[in-house]
Amino acid sequence: MSDNSAQPTVLTSSAPRPRPRIGAVLTGSAALARGLRAMLAAGMLLLTSCAATATVEPAPYAEDPDCAEVLLRLPEVIGDQERRPTSSQGTAVWGEPSEIVLRCGVEPIGPTTEPCVRYGGIDWVAMDREDHWQLVSYGRVPTVEVLLAMEQISSVNAMPPLTDAVSRIEQSRECTAYVENSEDL
C-alpha cells in the first residue's frame, strides 16, 4: 500500500502587495485610542437609547438659574426608581412609567387651606389629585412641584432625597401649620 498523504498546496504570487493608503492603518496606541473612543461612543449611544425620554411640560419660570442648580443636585435614584431624560428644561423624572415628576419654576402659591408637610426643612403644600399627589414647595421662589404616582411611591420615600436640591432655593416664608401624619401621602 502506498502512502498517498496529501501535502498542502502553497500558493505564491509574485504580484506586489497593494500599499495601504496613508492614514488607513494606525499603529500602536493611536489605533487603540481610536478603537476605544469608538466603542465608548457606541456604548453611550446604547445606554442613552435604553431610557425613553419623558415628555414633561416645562414650568413658566424653568429658565431661572436656581432651577439649574436644583437639577444639578437631584439624585439619580429615588427608592428603586432611576432618573431618566426629559424633554424640557427644569424637569426631572424617575421611573418608567413616570412615578415621580419634578418641575422647577412653577407659579408660587400663596396662603392656602391645603395641608402642609415638612421634609428636611422644606415646606410642601400637598394636594390630593385623582391618581397622584401634587406637592408644591412653599415660601421658595423659584417654586418646585413634585407629582407622585399615588399607588407606586409614598411621599415619605420620595421627598427626603429631594431636600438637598430644593434647599438651595432661599426660603422667604413658611407654613404656619403642618399635617401630623404625612405618611398618608
Helix (H) or strand (E) holding 39: helix 28-50
Same domain, 89 and 121: yes
Condensed to tens digits (0 to 9), the pLDDT of residues 121-173 reads 999 999 999 999 999 999 999 999 999 998 888 888 899 999 999 999 999 99
Same domain, 176 and 90: yes
Question: To the nearest whole percent, how much of the chain has pLDDT over 70?
Answer: 70
Same domain, 128 and 155: yes
Can you read off the three cell numbers belonging to residue 13? 504570487
- Does residue 5 sit within a domain? no
Same domain, 100 and 169: yes
pTM over 0.75: no
Same domain, 168 and 83: yes
- What angle (nearest 5°) sits at the alpha carbon of residue 160, between those of residues 155 and 163? 120
Peptide bond into 142 cis (omega under 30): yes
State the total domains in the chain.
Answer: 2
Instruction: Find the domain containing 88 and state its range.
Output: 65-180
Which conformational region is residue 45 in: left (phi greater than 0), alpha (psi within -120 to 50 degrees), or beta?
A: alpha
Same domain, 31 and 79: no
Band (26; pLDDT cuts 50, 70, 90):
very low
Which amino acid belongs to residue 23?
G
- Does residue 112 sit within a domain? yes
Same domain, 90 and 133: yes
